[in-house]
Structure 1
Amino acid sequence: MAQSALVLGGGMVGVCTAWHLRERGYDVTLVERGVPGRETSYGNAGLIQREAVEPYPFPHDVLKLAQVALQRGNDVSYRLRDVLAVSPRLAQYWWNSFPSRYQISVAGYEALIRHCLIEHDRMILASGAGNLVARHGWKQIFRTVKGFDEGTAKALALTRRFGVESRILDSMELAREEPALKRTMTGAIYWESPYSVSDPGGLVGRYAASFTAGGGRILKGDARSLRTDGAGWCVDTVDGTVSGEQAVIALGPWSEVVTRMLGYRLPLFVKRGYHRHFGWKGTLNTPMIDAEAGVAMLPMALGLRVTTGAEFALRDAPLSTKQMDGSECLAREMLNLGDPVEATPWLGSRPCTVDMLPLIGQAPSHRGLWFHFGHAHQGFTLGPTTGRLCAELMNGEAPYIDPSPYRPSRFGRAAQA
């Protein structure tokens, strides 16, 4: 008789976990409150980032900290009341960003990122989603000589250390490759290996359809109803209560709601982000991100998607248009944008841990319960990679990469219910 599992959460991470379990013969029910791929996974930059071998650390540079504190830039914003509420976690994030500790996180992060294209390719092929994916990389563009010089040095270091592919473009080369740019930029780093996706939510939907075509089930339900059921777990859905021998919490920024109900006090927080689509008649040969200004410009099926950097705020705090307005102004300096497609910007939350590594593994205090969340900026990139790892651990297989950096028990008493 097939083993059974419940997967809670229909974003990229949850769908990929369900897909990999079903591939191993599990009877899998994925429980999602809405439509798979329409929450956090819908609102990202749509990049599968092979070059993202280093997670985003908390800044230690005094000038950068001052800029953030005074909210002088567009790349980082915050709500003071919310920052105070999560200050102990942000302090841990800052502590883990010191070089010696940060390099430990980099090692664990890179071990996952290096497999992202291979694992996505398997699922793209299985789901017939090739028409959504372009394999042309993206460009990191720079406004200042200082930023360009620092970015170039970092790119060359990453190439030497990790083998990621990049090409340096000076101002004239960038202008030739991207004639739609109105503003003269100092230069760019062309990251050649990553993929870009024209409909991020649509790609998750294709993966979900592949999962159901293979015999999996997707039901609408409330993850907060998760509870033990004999030796297994059950949850309530619109079609009644469903059970599984094992259960996976893959709820992204909502994971803490369920883990706290079960007695865990994990050091989690969110970074929020916004996007909006605009009509336009230009052409970009690749997506572009202006990291200095905190704005990304990405061709999508709905138009040109303009995104923001990070906002430190509680997940359910009211929407603020400040960063999105700033991103729109910056994008209009560079490209001929038309009117916005949506009436209001989209808002989502990135699920973060204080050591910048996801949680992947069995819950320390509950048999048959698995944690799979905390991917921060790279859930869209890493879903197939960590979905495979989680499924291997659940199935008792030898994992294809060392799972120890991601074990939930690394947080000690906070990971005990």
Structure 2
Amino acid sequence: MAPSVIVLGAGMVGVSVALHLRRRGCDVVLVDRRAPGEGASFGNGGLIQREAVHPHPFPRAMSEILRIARNRSIDASYHPLALPGFVSPLLRYWWHSEPARYLHAAQAYARLIVTCIDEHLALARDTDAMPLLRPIGWMRLYGDRSRLDAAVAQAEIAHRDHGVNFVALDGAGVAAAEPHLLVQRAGAIHWTDPLSVSDPHALTLSYSRQFTGLGGRIALGDAGSLQRFGSGWRLRTTNGPEDAAQVVIALGAAAGETTRRFGYAPPLFGKRGYHMHYGLRGNAVLNRPVLDTDSGFLLAPMRAGIRLTTGAEFARIDARPTPVQLDRAEPVARTLLPLQDRVDATPWMGVRPCTPDMLPVIGPLPGQAGAWCAFGHAHQGFTLGPTTGRLLAEMMTGDQPFTDPTPYRADRF
């Protein structure tokens, strides 16, 4: 009989895990409190980031730490009363960002990132997902020539070590590539490998339709009802109880709530983020996503309009939305592009699941036979969903993993 699996979490990671397991003949039910793709996978820059071979380290420069500590920036914000809860994970994050430790983490991280385009295309090819994937890359703008030169030097290292492709543009090149920008910049790096997705939610839904088209099932349920049942697992859903030999926990920032009940408390912490869509005046267009380094936010052309995405907000998990970063970013964004009014009635908010060592947790849940982890992808769950799905499915079904999964094991914490 085919192995039976409950996959908890229907974001890009969970959907991809479920699809890869179903492709390998497993009897899979995908369970979430909401429909597929309505969590953190819904709100992002829509980029499959082949260039992101280096994870985001904790700032080491005191000037940068002090800038963030002032709590006035666009790219980072925090609730003062929430800070005590972040002390331990952020100190560990700082420790892992020491250059030698960071290099070790980056090497493991890059082994996943370099596969992301191929793994997405392996799922999307010959399906309704393909028109969503635009091979246009994205641009990072620089107002200062010295910062541009330093960034180009780092891009050349990424090209040499990991095959990342880019084009360095001067100010005239930026103006030619994006003629409706309202500002002049010293130049830009155009990362040419990444795919830009015109509707991230639609891509997750496309993969979920593949899953159900292959006989996979989707149900609504709460991970809080997960329990041992004989040698396997049981979960209550709106369709009744679901029993399976194995379970995958792909719940993003909420994964720790479930794993702690079974003896594993990973040092997960969440970074909240927001987005808002805008129209453009007249015949103005934005040809590709752009991130203005001086401003610290991304503007991306989407089906719904120009999406402005914020940086990281540190807050308690149950705190009400406080989109102050959007309020800070919007006036600046209007100096970059001829934006019209907001399209959305309210800002979207989601939580990115982060680990102190910047690596996801992929593999067996310690001490629990038949339980598996797939969470902690930080800013790159959308990018790494299919890669994680393939890697975990290979481990669960006894195939040879395409890369050594040791760096991502849960018991490293």
The Cα shift of 1:72 comes to 4.2
The Cα shift of 1:174 comes to 0.3
Identify the residue that residue 317 of structure 2 maps to in structure 1. Answer: 315
Residue identity opposite 1:152 in structure 2: V
- Secondary structure, in 3 states, of the residue corresponding to 2:125? helix
Identify the residue that residue 327 of structure 2 maps to in structure 1. Answer: 325
Say which of 380, 395, 398 aligns to 1:396.
Answer: 398
Identify the residue that residue 415 of structure 1 maps to in structure 2. Answer: none
Identify the residue that residue 2 of structure 2 maps to in structure 1. Answer: 2
Identify the residue that residue 104 of structure 1 maps to in structure 2. Answer: 104
Give the whole-Å Cα distance in 1 for the aligned partners of 2:88 and 2:147. 31
Residue identity opposite 2:213 in structure 1: A
**In the alignment, structure 1 residue 339 sits paired with structure 2 residue 330:** no
Residue identity opposite 1:196 in structure 2: S
- Secondary structure, in 3 states, of the residue corresponding to 2:373? strand
What do residues 6-32 of structure 1 show as CA deviations (whole Å, max 9, x unaligned)? 000000000000000001000000001
The alignment of Structure 1 onto Structure 2 pairs a total of residues equal to: 411
Identify the residue that residue 134 of structure 1 maps to in structure 2. Answer: 134
Residue identity opposite 1:232 in structure 2: G
Say which of 350, 353, 361 aligns to 2:352.
Answer: 350
Identify the residue that residue 359 of structure 1 maps to in structure 2. Answer: 361
Identify the residue that residue 252 of structure 1 maps to in structure 2. Answer: 252
Q: TM-score, normalised by structure 1?
A: 0.97
- Secondary structure, in 3 states, of the residue corresponding to 2:320? coil
Identify the residue that residue 164 of structure 1 maps to in structure 2. Answer: 164
Identify the residue that residue 378 of structure 2 maps to in structure 1. Answer: 376
The Cα shift of 1:316 comes to 2.4
**In the alignment, structure 1 residue 209 sits paired with structure 2 residue 209:** yes
Give the whole-Å Cα distance in 1 for the aligned partners of 2:314 and 2:188. 28
Contact map agreement 2:79 2:315 (CA 8 A) in 1: yes
The Cα shift of 1:262 comes to 2.1
Identify the residue that residue 300 of structure 1 maps to in structure 2. Answer: 302
Give the whole-Å Cα distance in 2 for the aligned partners of 1:391 and 1:314. 33
Give the whole-Å Cα distance in 2 for the aligned partners of 1:325 and 1:279. 17
Segments of structure 2 that go 5 or more residues without pairing to the other structure are none
Contact map agreement 2:264 2:366 (CA 8 A) in 1: no
What do residues 325-377 of structure 1 show as CA deviations (whole Å, max 9, x unaligned)? 11211211100001101122111110000100000010111110001100000
Contact map agreement 1:158 1:164 (CA 8 A) in 2: yes
Residue identity opposite 2:371 in structure 1: L
Give the whole-Å Cα distance in 1 for the aligned partners of 2:83 and 2:164. 35
Runs of 4 or more off by more than 6 Å in structure 1?
none
- Secondary structure, in 3 states, of the residue corresponding to 2:341? strand
- Secondary structure, in 3 states, of the residue corresponding to 1:224? helix
- Secondary structure, in 3 states, of the residue corresponding to 1:338? strand
The Cα shift of 1:69 comes to 0.9
What do residues 203-245 of structure 1 show as CA deviations (whole Å, max 9, x unaligned)? 0000000000001000011111111111111111000000110
Larger mean Cα displacement after TM superposition, 288-297 or 231-240: 288-297
Give the whole-Å Cα distance in 2 for the aligned partners of 1:312 and 1:7. 28
Residue identity opposite 1:155 in structure 2: A
Structure 1 segment 279-294 matched on structure 2, within 5 A: 279-281=279-281, 282-294=284-296
- Secondary structure, in 3 states, of the residue corresponding to 1:16? helix
- Secondary structure, in 3 states, of the residue corresponding to 2:225? strand
Give the whole-Å Cα distance in 2 for the aligned partners of 1:294 and 1:147. 14
Q: Percent of aligned pairs with the same residue? A: 48
Larger mean Cα displacement after TM superposition, 315-324 or 9-18: 315-324
Residue identity opposite 2:36 in structure 1: P
Structure 1 segment 172-187 matched on structure 2, within 5 A: 172-187=172-187
Larger mean Cα displacement after TM superposition, 65-74 or 250-259: 65-74
Alpha-carbon spacing, 1:280–1:74, altered in 2? closer, same or farther (3 Å): same
- Secondary structure, in 3 states, of the residue corresponding to 2:41? helix
Q: TM-score, normalised by structure 2?
A: 0.98
What do residues 53-95 of structure 1 show as CA deviations (whole Å, max 9, x unaligned)? 0100000011111111112431111112212212011100000
Give the whole-Å Cα distance in 2 for the aligned partners of 1:210 and 1:65. 45
- Say what the alpha-carbon RMSD is for the aligned residues: 1.1
The Cα shift of 1:150 comes to 2.4
Contact map agreement 1:288 1:296 (CA 8 A) in 2: yes
Contact map agreement 1:126 1:210 (CA 8 A) in 2: no
Identify the residue that residue 194 of structure 2 maps to in structure 1. Answer: 194
Identify the residue that residue 152 of structure 2 maps to in structure 1. Answer: 152
Alpha-carbon spacing, 1:347–1:100, altered in 2? closer, same or farther (3 Å): same
Residue identity opposite 2:103 in structure 1: Q
Identify the residue that residue 88 of structure 1 maps to in structure 2. Answer: 88
The Cα shift of 1:136 comes to 1.1
Contact map agreement 2:287 2:301 (CA 8 A) in 1: no
Give the whole-Å Cα distance in 2 for the aligned partners of 1:292 and 1:52. 19
Contact map agreement 1:113 1:382 (CA 8 A) in 2: yes
The Cα shift of 1:126 comes to 5.2
Residue identity opposite 2:38 in structure 1: R
- Secondary structure, in 3 states, of the residue corresponding to 2:351? strand
Identify the residue that residue 117 of structure 2 maps to in structure 1. Answer: 117
- Secondary structure, in 3 states, of the residue corresponding to 1:86? helix
Contact map agreement 1:127 1:209 (CA 8 A) in 2: no
Identify the residue that residue 77 of structure 1 maps to in structure 2. Answer: 77
- Secondary structure, in 3 states, of the residue corresponding to 2:247? strand
Contact map agreement 1:166 1:192 (CA 8 A) in 2: yes
Identify the residue that residue 47 of structure 1 maps to in structure 2. Answer: 47
Segments of structure 1 that go 5 or more residues without pairing to the other structure are 412-417
